[in-house]
């Protein structure tokens, strides 16, 4: 028995693979390495270097490797850039998920944990979002993730697909020193790279309707996030019904400027960030309750903001 992890060579996916294996589950990774790294996959975990759009390849791998469940993280994940690349975003995230579900159907695999996103909410009109907050995505990325949730819902109706979708908020930090965020668009790697090169980090917009004018986000540690996937996958494998959607959030918001202050404190490098233009597709504030996930997935914030910053800094160094 094994779990197929799509996108398992990426930052979050590789953490999920490590957590699944620590939880006693064998893993197989499918990743075309367009943004992932071969070195992030343990040497004793099979890596299938293909895109999930290659339906027959994925289906064959599932049968040959006796896959019983899928954790689906593969996709194009850059919300801001998706505004300029909507067709590519839909191809990778929507057509990719359709292809994966087709492969699962051919292989007789009927359990999936889906990597969704806080981007499905857009800019909510409540201080703290719950799973009942109406989705209102503001970018092709957010729209593609919402469509992914719909695809799973419809697959469940049509042929009894057992599923759950985990809506990530801002995932940061490192759980092990050899895995880290290499995204060219995420806040933590951008700040750390700038400091490492002697440049001044930049804030994208300081005129948002928030207390200090910078975006407010809900930051969660990647290790805590990975652990929730293990619980979700195990429950699906054990036949335990789960909610269709869970927020993985802390309930607390932190502004980008506060993050900059925390980075300066953790690294000992004093700096006054530059202020740039807003990025398209960035909502002013989004913070979520994780109460439902705490009830069903043992979700908890086991790392502080300082832990998140220091672990990210140490891993990148």
pLDDT tens digits, one per residue of 31-81: 999 999 999 999 999 999 999 999 999 999 999 999 999 999 999 998 889
- Taking all residues of the chain, what is their mean pLDDT, rounded to a whole number? 94
The CATH number corresponding to 174-217+250-287+302-316 among 3.40.50.720, 3.20.20.70, 3.90.25.10, 3.50.50.60 equals: 3.90.25.10
Residues noted as catalytic: 141
Q: CATH 3.90.25.10 occupies which residues in the chain?
A: 174-217+250-287+302-316
Query: Which comes out higher in pLDDT, residue 283 or 78?
Result: 78
Mean of pLDDT values over 294-305: 94
DSSP code of residue 186: S
- Cβ pair 144, 95 in contact under 8 A: no
100-148 per-position pLDDT tens digit = 999 999 999 999 999 999 999 988 889 899 999 999 999 999 999 999 9
Calculated CA dihedral for residues 256, 259, 265, 268, nearest 10 degrees: -70
SS3 label, residue 68: strand
Q: CATH 3.40.50.720 occupies which residues in the chain?
A: 2-171+219-248
Closest CA to 224 of 170, 278, 264, 263: 170
Query: What residues have CB less than 8 Å from 191, skipping those under 6 apart?
Result: 201, 259, 260, 263
Would you state the pLDDT for residue 193? Answer: 87
- For domain 2-171+219-248, the CATH class is alpha beta
Closest CA to 22 of 246, 229, 237, 166: 229
Mean of pLDDT values over 275-280: 88
Q: Is this structure's pTM higher than 0.85?
A: yes
Task: Flag whether pLDDT at 16 surpasses 70.
Answer: yes
Mean of pLDDT values over 266-270: 88
Residue 188 pLDDT level (bands cut at 50, 70, 90): confident
SS3 label, residue 61: helix
């Amino acid at each position: 028995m094994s779990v197929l992890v799509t996108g398992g060579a990426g930052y979050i996916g590789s953490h999920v693979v490590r957590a699944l294996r620590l939880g006693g589950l064998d893993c197989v990774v499918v990743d075309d390495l367009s943004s992932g790294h071969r070195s992030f996959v343990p040497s004793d975990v099979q890596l299938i270097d293909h895109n999930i759009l290659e339906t027959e390849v994925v289906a064959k791998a599932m049968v040959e490797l006796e896959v019983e469940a899928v954790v689906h993280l593969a996709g194009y994940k850059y919300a801001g850039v998706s505004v300029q690349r909507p067709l590519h975003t839909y191809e990778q995230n929507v057509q990719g998920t359709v292809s994966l579900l087709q492969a699962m159907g051919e292989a007789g695999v009927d359990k999936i944990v889906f990597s969704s996103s806080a981007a499905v909410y857009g800019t909510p009109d409540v201080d703290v979002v719950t799973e009942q907050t109406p989705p209102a995505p503001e970018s092709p990325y957010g729209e593609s993730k919402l469509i992914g949730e719909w695809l799973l819902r419809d697959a469940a109706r049509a042929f009894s697909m057992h599923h759950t979708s985990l809506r990530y908020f801002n995932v940061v930090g490192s759980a092990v020193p050899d895995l880290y965020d290499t995204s060219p668009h995420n806040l933590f790697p951008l700040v750390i790279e700038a400091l490492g090169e002697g440049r001044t980090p930049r804030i994208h917009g300081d005129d948002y309707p928030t207390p200090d004018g910078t975006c407010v986000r809900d930051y969660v540690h990647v290790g805590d996030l990975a652990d929730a996937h293990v619980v979700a996958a195990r429950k699906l494998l054990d036949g335990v019904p789960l909610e269709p959607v869970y927020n993985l959030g802390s309930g607390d918001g932190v502004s980008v400027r506060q993050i900059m202050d925390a980075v300066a404190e953790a690294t000992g490098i004093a700096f006054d960030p530059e202020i740039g233009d807003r990025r398209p597709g960035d909502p002013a504030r989004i913070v979520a309750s994780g109460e439902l996930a705490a009830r069903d997935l043992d979700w908890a914030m086991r790392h502080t903001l300082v832990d998140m910053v220091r672990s990210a800094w140490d891993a990148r160094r």
